[in-house]
Amino acid sequence: MKKAVIINSLKQAQDIVDLVDAYMVPIQKFSMNYDHVFSLSAIKEIKALNKEVFVIINKNIHNDELAELQNLLNDLDKIAITGLVFYDVALVNLKTKLKLKTDLVWAQEHMTTNYATINYWYDKGVKYAYLSSELTKAEIEQIKAQTNMKLFVNGFGYVPMFSSQRRLVNNYIEHFNLENHQGPKQIYKEGNYYPIIDKENGTTVYSNYVLNAIAKLDVDYLVYNSYLINDEDFKIILKYNKSDKYPEEYGFLYKETIYKVKNNE
C-alpha cells in the first residue's frame, strides 16, 4: 500500500521525501478544499523529488476557465506527472481532445461510491479512483474485489464534507461588518468544532475529527492529509502509522448511513 500525501508546502514535501510514495498536489486556481495550493513551478520542483505526483484539479469549471485550463493541462502533460485528480467531467473530454498522456484519477468526492460506476470510468480509460470517505469497510472491500481500478482512500486527516462556490465566511463577516482577525476559522454545533476555510474558489467545511483509519485499510494508495496537522506530528504518523496525539478514528468504516425510502417496488 502506497502512501499518498497532501502537502502544505514545498519544504514539507522535501522534508518527508523518504516517507512517502506519492504527492497529491492542489494547484493554483483549479483546486478547492485545500488551504495550500501550488504553482506550476513548485510542481516541477516536487516532480524532481522522484516520487509519483498527482495534481488535484477538482474545482467545478466554468466556460471562461477552459482556455487557461487547457494550457495548464498541456504544461502538466509535458512534465510527465503521474496523474490528474479530477472532479469535473470536462477533464475527460479534454484528455481526449488534447491527446494528453497523463492518467486520470476519478475523484468526485462523495459520489465515488460503487464498483459499477468505477468500472464505467475504467472502461473510459481512467486508471485510478479516489473513493468517498463515507463508505463502509465492507463496501470498500467489495469495490476492490469487483474492479481493476487502482484505488485511493483517505486514511488520515481532516475530511472535507462540504464545498461551495460561495464564500460563506467572508459573506457573513461582510454582512455583519465584523472584524476578521485572519485566524483559523471553525464553526461550532452541539459540542463539536468543524474547521471551515474560505478561499478564492469557495468555502470548505471539514469533519470535526481527524480520521485515522490507517490500520484498517488496505488499498493501492492511502491518502494522508496534512491540513491543520503540525509538521512534526505528521511526520510521526507517516513514519510509524500511529500517534498518541491522533487516536484511531474510523469515520464511516463501521458506521452505515441511512436514507428513508418507503417500499415502492
Partner 1 sequence: MNKPELLSPAGDFERLKIALLYGADAVYIGGNFNLRANADNFNLEEIRKGVSYAHERGKKVYVTVNIAMHNAEVLKIKDYLLKLDKIGPDAIIVSDPAIIKIARENTNLTIHLSTQASTLNKEAVNYWKQEGVKRIVLARECTYEDIKTIKESVDIELEVFIHGAMCASYSGRCVLSNYLTARDSNRGGCSQICRWDFELYDDKEPLKGDKPFTFCTKDLSLIKHIPDLINLGVDSLKIEGRMRSAYYIATIVKVYRTIIDEYWNNPDAYAYNLKYEQILRRVANRDSVPQFFNGIFDKRVQYYNGREEKTNQDFIGIVLDYDSQTGLAKIEQRNYFACGDEIEIFGPTDEMKFVITELYDEYMQPLEIVRHPKQVVYLKVPRAVFANYMVKKA
Among 80, 171, 245, 248, binds partner 1 (CB under 8 A): 171
Contacts 24+ apart (CB under 8 A), 41-49: 42/10, 43/76, 43/79, 43/81, 44/79, 45/10, 46/7, 46/10, 46/13, 47/79, 47/80, 47/81, 49/13, 49/14, 49/17, 49/23
Residue appearing with cell numbers 460563506: 168
Query: Which of residues 48 and 66 has its CB atom nearest to partner 1 in the complex?
Result: 66
Binding mask 136-155 for partner 1 (x = CB under 8 A): ---x--xx--x---------
- Cβ-based nearer residue to partner 1, 23 or 128: 128
Choices 7-15, 47-55, 85-93, 218-226; region in contact with partner 1 by CB under 8 A: 85-93
Measured CA to CA, the distance from residue 230 to residue 9 in angstroms comes to: 12
Number of residues that bind partner 1 (CB under 8 A): 75
Of residues 34-63, which lie at the interface with partner 1 (CB under 8 A)? 60-63
DSSP 3-state assignment of 114?
coil
Residue indicated by cell numbers 471562461? 64
Regarding 89 and contact with partner 1 (CB under 8 A), the answer is yes
Closest distance between partner 1 and the C-beta of residue 55, in Å? 18
Query: Could you tell me which of 252, 88, 264, 67 has the C-alpha nearest to residue 163?
Result: 88
- Show the cell assigned to 173: 463577516
We find the least distance from the C-beta atom of residue 43 to partner 1, in angstroms, to be 22
Q: Which of 6, 39, 31 is nearest to 202 (CA)?
A: 31
Contacts with partner 1 in 104-123 (CB under 8 A)? Answer: 108-111, 113-117, 119-121
Q: Is 67 in the site for partner 1 (CB under 8 A)?
A: no
181 binds partner 1 (CB under 8 A): yes
Closer CB to partner 1, residue 101 or residue 262? 262
